[in-house]
Structure 1
């Protein structure tokens, strides 16, 4: 089975003075603004790294829910933040790392079972497999 999803980008102008927009098949993003200032200067709008972070946080969290279910656990709450690092390397820019920060509430979960599920989800969610970056994880199980 193959599932295909799409997104599109449009751009006008030069690198620093140009403007772009990003749209997704689902319509969640519809001509959402991006540009040099949203990527390198924290201007209004989005940027590719933020979108990769959202995709990775969502994919990892969903994969973790599946791994927990396989182990007989159900989360009361999972919250993940993905921080994507963009660095200038060898004269160009590269995404060098993603750090996942997870806070979980899972009634009855042991630390060992939680850690196993979290690390398995980190290694095996489709977005983790896609990225050629160092992926780290801090996972906290709350009572």
Structure 2
């Protein structure tokens, strides 16, 4: 399997400094700073990129799990919310909420929930982020 890469360059100190993150694929490049990470400033931040990775990974994991169970989805849409909070004086990702909606013909709500929970546990990004104390899932069948 391929190795994926991204790069970040930071210039200056914490509060006055600034940086740029970019993907090897060149599909994304964005500035980040103290305000964009710890306040509501313009630019991106590592947590937003983790959220994008988790949402994308989970959507794909759920789609394949549904398909394997005989319920190919029409659509899976996921929002990931990564919470960065201070814990013992250190910025910490404390929880991630996955909110997903899926159009899946012919599936019962109970079976959908069962498959969605298994996909959350098996998603490679969920597994990589297993150190996060809480990864919750709210799955809605449309």
Scaled by the length of structure 1, the TM-score of the pair is 0.95
Q: Which runs of 5+ in 2 are unaligned?
A: none
Q: Which runs of 5+ in 1 are unaligned?
A: none
- Rounded to whole Å, the distance in 2 between the matches of 1:110 and 1:61 is 19
- Rounded to whole Å, the distance in 1 between the matches of 2:128 and 2:102 is 24
Aligned pair 1:57/2:55, yes or no?
yes
- Rounded to whole Å, the distance in 2 between the matches of 1:21 and 1:116 is 40
- Rounded to whole Å, the distance in 1 between the matches of 2:9 and 2:92 is 22
Partner of 1:20: 19
Partner of 1:113: 111
- Which residue of 38, 44, 47 maps to 2:45? 47
Q: CA deviation at 1:3?
A: 2.2
Aligned pair 1:33/2:31, yes or no?
yes
Scaled by the length of structure 2, the TM-score of the pair is 0.95
> SS at 2:101's partner residue?
strand
Partner of 1:82: 80
- Rounded to whole Å, the distance in 2 between the matches of 1:37 and 1:92 is 17
Partner of 1:98: 96
Q: Considering only aligned residues, what root-mean-square deviation do their CA atoms show, in Å?
A: 0.9
Q: CA deviation at 1:77?
A: 1.4
- CA offsets per residue over residues 72-96 of structure 1, 9 Å max, x none? 0111111110000111011111101
Moved over 4 A (4+): none
- Rounded to whole Å, the distance in 1 between the matches of 2:62 and 2:2 is 20
